[in-house]
Amino acid sequence: MVSMFNPRLTDALSDYPFARLNGLIADVTPPAHLPLINLSVGEPQGALPAFARKILADEVEGWSKYPPNQGIADLNLAIVEWLERRYRLPQGLLDPARHVIPTAGSKEGVYVIATVATPQEKGGVKPVVSIPNPFYQAYLGGAVLSGAEPYFANAHAATGFLPDVEQIDEAIWKRMAIFYLCSPANPQGAMASLAYLQRLIRLCRRHDTVLALDECYAEIYTGQPPTGGLEAAFAMDETGGKDPFRNVVVFHSLSKRSNAAGIRSGFMAGDPRLVAMMLRWKTYGGTQIPFAVQKASAALWREETHPVETRAWYAKNFRVAEQILHNRFGYFTPGGGFFLWLDVGDGEAATRRLWGEAHLKVLPGAYVCRETDGVNTAERYIRVALVHDEKTTREAMTRLATVL
Ligand SMILES: Cc1ncc(COP(=O)(O)O)c(C=O)c1O
């Protein structure tokens, strides 16, 4: 029978992790006397700063107008100034009109870059898009729906939880349109070093591959701030600042930095050719970001005290988790991000027990990871989002340690 649906959607993208999770625990009854603590979703539970709330409430004029696709000048400027501060880039290196474009969260950006930068063929055959494995699902959505073949670059304990880029065959590199990397990584919190990023940028340029670097957790870290892709590209630049970001784009977000998942505000920055094509895509099919959101976003990127508080919130949670779990489940406090990546032996079984005995909702690691050569390298793990306040986190960690 001829289907009315796009087979790329129906066949390759049918098992979104949260739908699978709900299926896994559907027949398990949680204990009614314990309130649910949802640790499965990476949705920050802290408050959006009051000054941003006020802007969102006050900026009512713009609701009747179409906002510009490329972002209002003041937002793009605020983003450029933030990039300069955060990554110690020289003033004037980034042009707000050419190097950045606001996106509806980083999700839109990481998904759409695949539409923007997947050719029909590469090396005479179907292009490949490399995805770190485990991974954030929008990368796979972008790769599959743009007609590329996904290549899963395993990132497990033995590779320092980042893909081993030297292990990838030359034949794959020749076909590679995009290399996705997430640093700090969701779920493991690994952070790519300057040397790692520069090696990767060289490899990408050699093969004319786009490095799509998801840095949405860049402001959530426990020790040193993670190195950024633009910073790495600038530090190895040999063009005297004329073309420092060739083949490199980074994605950022206010969702985690500012507890602002609901306003859907992020940006893409880097290679101006890719920014221009992203803008073209926006004009054909993207959604502009409402004026009020753009104005609040500009203020949020300019304000530097609330991210310090955000980091302190997560640092407290990690201290609690470390106190309670420190010598179990291969516990480690990640360099960045807000997830625990716990080796519980059997991630699905642990998830069912935590639901049935402790009313805790966590995500089996295997659900954000694909099998390669018949092995799912994440099946021993669960992902635990430490996004609640300290008291709730303590309660959750205590229940977790009691049950497992
Ligand atoms: C790795 C990663 N990238 C991107 C996103 C998208 O976030 P947003 O669109 O809210 O910026 C998320 C959300 O959880 C994520 O974990």
Tell how far the Cα of 240 is from the centroid of ligand 1, in angstroms.
33
- Which pLDDT belongs to residue 317? 97
What are the tens digits of pLDDT across the range 78-127?
999 999 999 999 999 999 999 999 999 999 999 999 999 999 999 899 99
Tell how far the Cα of 216 is from the centroid of ligand 1, in angstroms.
6
| Torsion-angle region of 105 (φ positive above 0: left; ψ -120 to 50: alpha; else: beta) | left
Tell how far the Cα of 217 is from the centroid of ligand 1, in angstroms.
8
Which atom of ligand 1 lies nearest, measured to the CA of 214? 3
78 Cβ contact list (under 8 Å, min separation 6) = 297, 298, 299, 301, 302
Which atom of ligand 1 lies nearest, measured to the CA of 108? 9
Tell how far the Cα of 145 is from the centroid of ligand 1, in angstroms.
19
Q: What is the pairing mode between strands 381-385 and 363-364?
A: antiparallel
Out of 255, 289, 367, mutate this one to test ligand 1's pocket (max ligand atoms within 8 Å of CB): namely 255
Out of 133, 213, 253, 363, mutate this one to test ligand 1's pocket (max ligand atoms within 8 Å of CB): namely 253
Tell how far the Cα of 351 is from the centroid of ligand 1, in angstroms.
22
Q: Is the pLDDT of residue 2 over 80?
A: no
**Residue 290 identity:** P
Q: Is the pLDDT of residue 1 over 70?
A: no
Yes or no: say if 284 and 62 are a contact pair by the CB < 8 Å rule: no
Tell how far the Cα of 252 is from the centroid of ligand 1, in angstroms.
9
What are the tens digits of pLDDT across the range 318-373?
999 999 998 899 999 999 999 999 999 999 999 999 999 999 999 999 999 999 99
Out of 18, 106, 249, mutate this one to test ligand 1's pocket (max ligand atoms within 8 Å of CB): namely 106
pTM of whole model > 0.85? yes
Tell how far the Cα of 107 is from the centroid of ligand 1, in angstroms.
5
Yes or no: say if 184 and 214 are a contact pair by the CB < 8 Å rule: no
Question: Hey, whose CA ends up nearest to atom 2 of ligand 1?
Answer: 136
What are the tens digits of pLDDT across the range 203-232?
999 999 999 999 999 999 999 999 999 999
At 3, the pLDDT band (50, 70, 90 cuts) reads: confident
Cα 130–chain centre separation: 15
What residue ranges line ligand 1, CB within 6 angstroms?
42, 105-107, 110, 136, 182, 186, 214, 216, 253, 255, 261, 266
What string of H, E and C letters represents the secondary structure of 280-319? HHHHHHCCCCCHHHHHHHHHHHHCCHHHHHHHHHHHHHHH
